[in-house]
């Protein structure tokens, strides 16, 4: 199994291939590859990303079946089930890199900013729950000069939300805390650009 630094490098190299339209043909799935994975998996990285259809981790990082353990949820928020999923992969497979990946123009972040600026009574309770996870990390930004620059506000809000999720994973689970302290687990944040296809690792 790759250590965290090796896994991060592999993701960066894969994203480099993706952004230059030089994806690896060796990752095309064959029956033989599927058969090899029937009895087990060994993903080298865990990706907690947004459900947005434009942000599929396997494609963005040019990886194949069995390479990534991917958890997707609107706004890349961290709820108990997501922590449990990360714990499972880290313990069961020995995966030592966790990436929380947000993306530019995230709809869940935009919805949260809209909610903070003008409360919407019509929003469903389930959607409001997602907004409530994101709200604490972005509310303070509306008290700064960023409120006068919508593009800058959204950019900083996306990153603030990623940082909050990274912090939640690092400190919201005794299992993950112990793996970080004793076994080389690393939790990092990243932002995917819809415009360029580049993933910028900026937290940790």
pLDDT over 80 at 123, yes or no = no
- The candidate with the shortest Cα–Cα distance to 142, out of 116, 168, 123, 175, is 116
Band of the pLDDT at 61, cuts 50, 70, 90?
very high
Average pLDDT of the segment spanning 88-113: 97
pLDDT confidence of residue 36: 85
Average pLDDT of the segment spanning 77-83: 97
**Which residues in 169-202 are b (16+ Cβ under 10 Å) and which e?**
bbeebeebeebbeeeebbbbbbbbeeeeeebeee
pLDDT over 90 at 16, yes or no = yes
**Domain count of the chain?**
1
Band of the pLDDT at 159, cuts 50, 70, 90?
very high
Give, rounded to a whole angstrom, the gap between the first and last alpha carbons of the chain: 21
Contact 104, 158 (CB under 8 A): yes
Enclosing domain of residue 136: 4-203
pLDDT confidence of residue 122: 67
What is the CATH classification number for the domain harbouring 28? Answer: 3.40.1050.10
Residue of 119 and 42 predicted with greater confidence: 42
pLDDT confidence of residue 125: 87
Average pLDDT of the segment spanning 161-187: 97
Six token digits for residue 139: 């509310």
Mean pLDDT of all residues belonging to the chain: 93
Average pLDDT of the segment spanning 63-74: 96
């Amino acid at each position: 199994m790759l250590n965290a630094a090796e896994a991060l490098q592999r993701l960066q190299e894969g994203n480099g291939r993706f952004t230059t339209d030089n994806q690896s043909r060796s990752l095309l799935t064959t029956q033989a590859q599927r058969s090899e994975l029937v009895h087990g998996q060994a993903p080298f990285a865990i990706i907690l990303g947004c459900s947005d259809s434009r942000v599929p981790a396997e494609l963005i990082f040019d990886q194949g079946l069995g390479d990534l353990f991917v958890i997707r949820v609107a706004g890349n928020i961290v709820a108990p089930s997501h922590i449990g999923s990360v714990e499972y992969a880290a313990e069961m497979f020995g995966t030592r890199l966790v990436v929380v990946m947000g993306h530019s123009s995230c709809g869940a972040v935009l919805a949260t900013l809209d909610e903070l600026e003008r409360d919407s009574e019509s929003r469903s309770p389930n959607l409001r729950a997602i907004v409530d996870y994101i709200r604490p990390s972005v509310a303070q930004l509306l008290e700064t000069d960023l409120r006068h620059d919508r593009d800058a506000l959204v950019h900083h809000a996306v990153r603030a939300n990623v940082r909050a999720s990274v912090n939640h994973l690092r400190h919201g689970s005794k299992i993950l805390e112990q793996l970080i302290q004793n076994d080389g687990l690393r939790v990092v944040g990243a932002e995917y650009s819809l415009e360029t296809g580049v993933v910028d690792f900026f937290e940790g």
